[in-house]
Amino acid sequence: MVEAPLPLSMKRIPRSGEAVAAVPPVSSSEANVSCTNRELATLLTGWAHPILSAAQAAEFERRLFAGDKKCEWAAMQAAGRAVAQAVWRDLTGLGPQVRQKPRLLVLAGKGHNGGDALIAAEAILAEQPTAHAEVFLVHGLRALRPLAWRAWATLQSRFPDRVRPISARDLSTRVNAQVRYTLCLDGVFGFRFRPPMDARAVAAVAAVNALPIDLRAAVDLPSGLRASATEGSRQSPPVDAAPHTDLPAAQVAGGDVAGPVFRADFTYATGSVKREVLGRREAGRLRYLDLGFFKRESFPPLPSGASLAGDCVLTEAVLAPLRAWRDPQTHKGREGHVFVLAGSREYPGAALMCVLAALRSGAGLVTGFVPESLVPSFAAQVPEAIWVGWPETERGGLALEGQYLLRERIERAVGSRSAGGASLVIGPGIGRERETQTLVTELVKAYGPVLPLLLDADALQSELIKNAKSPLILTPHAGEFRRIAGTEPTDAHLREFASRAGAIVVLKGPVTRICDGSAVGAAAEHCPSERHLSSFNQSLYSASMPVESGRPRSSRESPGSETVPVAGEVSALRGFTPPSDRTDFAHGEPVIIYSLFGDPVLARGGSGDLLAGMIGTQLAKRPEENCLQATCRALAWHGLTAETLSFSQNPETTHTVQLLNHLGDALRQNKTFFS
């Protein structure tokens, strides 16, 4: 995501006697607001912004601007410039030759969407002296609304020799000659569009779809895509219609089309993400351009059906702690300890990648529990990690008898008063051998109530998840979701499964969705997404503390004696009370957070293993932070790094672990991409 901070003039220009943050009065005939400003400010976290339907977005902007044309013009300029920067950044993925003498084609409608596209073209021409633009005003010059006309007049006056208006006949001639363009900016229709399309727009969109264009960019929504018949519904189409997905297109529901739809490579959602664009193949890849509409001090109440407690899109603000200075007094013990149980003789590489990702993403300590035959090789390749050989089954999997190894290490780590947080990652490469699966079940029972526990890959078992007595973090891809949930990965099924499991579910895909079923209703105060483990660094197992009255003594204990925790008998860390009644999770409906960070370069084996290790690190590094935010931070970093890797080299020639070499670059990247 490319952030474009809103100009100062956008923060509600006050009229005489009006407070800066004032909201225009809403009549009873208008849609009811879902929250007060105070409630919104309380709910707004800063790192996730609400997803609005097209109708909600129109109402929200009407309230935000309150008819102030200066504000609207400032917003249009911010949107156009943000689109220009984001488009130019994405063009870098095609190589430098594409940008040598860029040729732009701009389709401009009569409203604000057309103005955004024209301002984007102006910004590109201003930075690229060799660029030229052809502009087709689809409905003619006289039809332009005042702000769109202003954008067109500014563009033409600044670059009279490099901007050429073209007619419908000119466009048809270019189609017949198959003239190639570097970039096409689609600004014909925006989120206020309602079908049917007029004949001029139909002809323009159909013509452009037939042209050879290096990058097709839609502003807000691809022209021709209209709002769903069920306005305001929280149910989005499954995110399965974009390229590089494995879900059937027949499941796509929601937005309809009337006539041709602009086939975008990228859609740049300005100001807010509109629900109708999610999961649409015509939209290509989505980028969210934050214009500052959701700054706490400036935004009005949201329209009915929209809520900051509802579905959200992840923003780059979640990465802020990774861009801050480290505490100069810190040490490895305070930077988090990640325990990884992974690997088998059949899949050794998954464990290695997971451990390496945990190390490279900032963990102070990483302990890898792997089949003992793999330790010499792994220790030679990654000497920074602590490698513990686990007893093997006959087929090279992880045997039940090794449980004591994990218990001893976790006890030692959290028993230190100077220790920071810890997390446990189970699953990458462990295989489906019965004994190993039984081992996973036992470990979840023992350690799920104790520390953040992530299950990935073959550790994802439907019965285990169903019977778990503590919240978990689950990271399935679409195929694994079908296996453990028994349903297709639609939004509704994701909500239902996450709520039933009481888990944070990270459903990986072209657009990854995070659903926090652990924080639903009354269970929020008990779940890992809300639990605060600030006392984690002072926590001890019951082995070194008096037995708490609420816990029955083990048969191995005697009054006054030192106890040794065994599987199933480990007491919870101070500061964490696991839920005792799983039915508590049924209250309310869980939120879905969409992550638009990522790149098709991740469509290769091992990217999920890297993500599991990175999430494990974020869960361990800041024990006072909720697990949902830590998970989202790792996911955003993983996706943004994939984009950075894709810009630096051809995605066809990379290999998975190269992603780790760009983790730092992703955090330091320059937001200005013109060069």
- Listed in order, strand segments (DSSP E) in 260-408 are 266-270, 273-274, 285-289, 312-314, 337-341, 365-371, 386-390
Neighbour count for residue 138 (Cβ, 10 Å): 23
Report pLDDT for 268: 98
- Weakly modelled stretches of the chain, pLDDT under 70: 1-45, 226-258, 296-309, 416-419, 519-588, 670-675
Q: Could you tell me if residue 123 is inside a domain? A: yes
Say if residues 238 and 284 touch (Cβ distance below 8 Å). no
599 is in an annotated binding site: no
**pLDDT for res 23:** 28
Longest CA pairwise span in the chain (Å): 93
Does residue 508 have a known ligand-binding role?
yes
- Sequence-distant (6+) residues with CB within 8 A of 22 are 12, 14
pLDDT of residue 4: 40
Residues 90 and 238 in one domain: yes
Tally of domains within the chain = 2
- Specify which residues 289 forms β-bridges with: 270
3-state secondary structure of 68: coil
Q: Are 523 and 629 members of one domain?
A: yes
Whether residue 477 is annotated as binding a ligand: the answer is yes
Structural domain includes residue 143: yes
In-domain check, residue 282:
yes
Query: Which pLDDT value is given to residue 258?
Result: 55
Q: Is residue 475 part of a domain?
A: yes
pLDDT value of residue 419 = 64
Whether 290 has a binding-site annotation, put simply, is: no
Q: Is 671 annotated as a binding residue?
A: no
* 177 and 107 housed in the same domain: yes
Q: Tell me if 609 is assigned to a ligand binding site.
A: yes
Q: Are residues 380 and 468 in the same domain?
A: yes
Query: Are both 266 and 404 inside the same structural domain?
Result: no
Q: Is residue 515 part of a domain?
A: yes
Tell me which of 280, 313, 346 is where a domain ends.
313
Do residues 567 and 446 make contact, with C-beta atoms less than 8 angstroms apart? Answer: yes
* Residue 261 and residue 342 in one domain: no
What are the pLDDT digits (tens) for 293-340?
A: 988 666 666 666 655 557 899 999 999 999 999 999 999 999 999 999
Q: Is 108 annotated as a binding residue?
A: no
**321 lies in a domain?**
no
- What domain range includes position 409? 333-545+567-666
Same-domain status, 390 and 359:
yes
Examine the domain organization and report whether 304 and 400 are in the same domain: no
In a domain, 23, yes or no: no
CATH number, domain with residue 475: 3.40.1190.20
Note the pLDDT of residue 589: 79
292: annotated binding-site residue?
Answer: no
What's 170's domain CATH number?
3.40.50.10260
Which residues make Cβ contacts (< 8 Å) with residue 434, sequence separation at least 6?
none
Among 264, 295, 248, which residue's Cα sits nearest to residue 482?
248
For residue 147 the two structure tokens come to: 């702000």
Whether residue 581 is contained in a domain is answered as yes
Task: Examine the domain organization and report whether 109 and 246 are in the same domain.
Answer: yes
pLDDT of residue 191: 87
**Each residue's pLDDT tens digit, 79-116:** 999 999 999 999 988 888 777 899 999 999 999 999 99
State whether 228 and 347 are in the same domain. no
The pLDDT value recorded for residue 298 is 62
Together in a domain, 344 and 306: no
Same domain, 211 and 305: yes
Cβ-based neighbour number of residue 605 at 10 Å = 12
Q: How many CB atoms lie within 10 A of CB 26?
A: 15
